[in-house]
Structure 1
Amino acid sequence: MSELIELFKDPYERRARLVPALLVALPLLVPLVCVYGPRNPILTAVLGLLGGCGALYALASVARGRGKKLEEALVKEWGGMPTTIALRHRDSTALDSVSKRRYHEAFSSKLGIGMPTAEEEAADPARADDVYIGATKRLRELTRGGRNLLLKENIAYGFHRNMLAMKPLGVVACVLGLAYGLIIAKALQLAPLTFAPGKIAAPGLAAALTLLISLAFFVAWVFYFDKDSVRRVGFVYAERLFECLPSLQPTMPRKRTTKSTASSDGPD
Structure 2
Amino acid sequence: MVKLFFNEYNLKARCIPVIIACFPILALLASFLDLNKFLIANSIVVIIFSVIIIFLLSLYARSKGKQLEKDLVKEWNGWPTTRFLRHGDQTINKIEKQKIYQIIKENLTDKIPTEDEEKNSPEEADKQYNIIVNTLRMKTRGEEYYILLYENISYGFFRNSFALKKISLSISIFIMIGLFIMFFQNNPYHFCDFKNFISYLFIVKLSFNLTFILTIMMFFYWCFAITKKNVKKYADRYALALINTVYQIW
Q: TM-score, normalised by structure 2?
A: 0.86
Cα displacement (A) at 1:183: 4.7
Does the 8 Å contact 1:110/1:245 carry over to 2?
A: no
1:114 corresponds to: 111
Please tell me whether residue 47 in structure 1 is matched to residue 46 in structure 2: yes
Aligned CA distance change for structure 1 residues 204 and 100 (closer, same or farther; 3 Å): farther
- Code of the residue aligned with 1:105 in structure 2: it is Q
User: What are the ranges of 5 or more consecutive residues in structure 2 without an aligned counterpart?
Assistant: none
1:256 corresponds to: none
2:84 corresponds to: 86
- Partner Cα distance (2:11, 2:169) in 1: 22
Which of the two has higher C-alpha Rg? 2
User: Which of 54, 69, 72 matches 1:71?
Assistant: 69
- Partner Cα distance (1:176, 1:206) in 2: 18
Aligned CA distance change for structure 1 residues 204 and 97 (closer, same or farther; 3 Å): farther
Cα displacement (A) at 1:32: 0.4
User: What are the ranges of 5 or more consecutive residues in structure 1 without an aligned counterpart?
Assistant: 250-268
SS at match of 2:92: coil
User: Which of 174, 177, 186 matches 1:176?
Assistant: 174
Cα displacement (A) at 1:97: 2.0
- Code of the residue aligned with 1:210 in structure 2: it is T
1:30 corresponds to: 27
User: Which of 120, 133, 144 matches 2:141?
Assistant: 144
2:121 corresponds to: 124
2:215 corresponds to: 214
Does the 8 Å contact 1:64/1:162 carry over to 2?
A: yes
Q: How many residues align?
A: 240
SS at match of 1:189: helix
- Tell me whether 12-21 or 108-117 shows the greater mean CA deviation: 108-117
Q: Deviations over 1:98-125 (max 9, x none)?
A: 2222222222222124211111100100
1:153 corresponds to: 151
SS at match of 2:98: helix
Q: Deviations over 1:193-230 (max 9, x none)?
A: x9897454554321222122111111111112111111
- Partner Cα distance (2:166, 2:82) in 1: 29
Does the 8 Å contact 1:108/1:114 carry over to 2?
A: yes
Aligned CA distance change for structure 1 residues 123 and 200 (closer, same or farther; 3 Å): farther
- Tell me whether 28-37 or 72-81 shows the greater mean CA deviation: 28-37
- Partner Cα distance (1:33, 1:105) in 2: 59
Q: TM-score, normalised by structure 1?
A: 0.81
